[in-house]
């Protein structure tokens, strides 16, 4: 993931990924000036907040799907009996097949939507900044969203710094 070259954002991602994600996506879109995102069309400085709004809606849906899934999952309770011994009690809430199916469907939809957004943004940044692919980009995007956003951010930041440096000294 090459986090040792960019420790600040990497630490921020570890501490609060949702806050990091909102900041990083906004900076990627804002500093890119323009990106052709397959799902959203052309995005850039003028409508970076629109991309951020879509991401916020995805995060809200993901949180809601997780909450529904957690409520339909098994619950573990620990208490002491009359002799003072610990008793573990597992209550299975997955007996209702409709609730289980709804929870699984919502989590699957949330995962696919987040993956589509991440891949669309990655493709837009890759084509805009000519990031060389190594044949397993889709695998990386699927398996580690944090690393994907860090990588995109590094490319956009370096391009932005190079342009600022060139404008200052030309």
Q: What is the pLDDT of residue 73?
A: 61
Give the residue with greater pLDDT, 14 vs 169: 14
Kindly tell me if the per-residue pLDDT of 165 is higher than 70.
no
Q: What are 96's two structure tokens?
A: 């209702």
Pairing of strands 41-44, 34-37: antiparallel
pLDDT in tens, 107-163: 889 999 999 999 999 989 988 888 777 777 888 888 888 888 888 888 888 888 877
Give the residue with greater pLDDT, 106 vs 96: 106
Q: What is the pLDDT of residue 162?
A: 79
pLDDT in tens, 65-103: 888 777 766 565 677 777 777 776 656 555 667 777 887
Cα–Cα distance measured from residue 42 to residue 37, given in angstroms and rounded to the nearest whole number: 6
């Amino acid at each position: 993931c090459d986090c040792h070259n960019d420790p600040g954002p990497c630490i921020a991602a570890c501490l609060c990924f949702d806050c990091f994600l909102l900041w990083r996506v906004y900076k990627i879109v804002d500093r890119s000036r323009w990106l052709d995102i397959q799902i959203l069309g052309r995005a850039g400085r003028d409508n970076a907040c629109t991309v951020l709004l879509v991401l916020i809606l995805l995060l809200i849906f993901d949180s809601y799907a997780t909450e529904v899934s957690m409520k339909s999952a098994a619950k573990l309770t620990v208490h002491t009996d009359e002799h003072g011994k610990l008793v573990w009690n597992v209550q299975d809430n997955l007996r209702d097949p409709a609730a289980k199916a709804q929870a699984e469907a919502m989590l699957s939809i949330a995962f696919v939507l987040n993956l589509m957004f991440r891949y669309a943004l990655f493709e837009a940044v890759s084509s805009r900044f000519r990031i060389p692919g190594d044949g397993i980009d889709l695998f990386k995007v699927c398996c580690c969203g944090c690393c994907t956003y860090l990588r995109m951010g590094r490319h956009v930041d370096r391009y932005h710094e190079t342009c600022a440096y060139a404008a200052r000294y030309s």
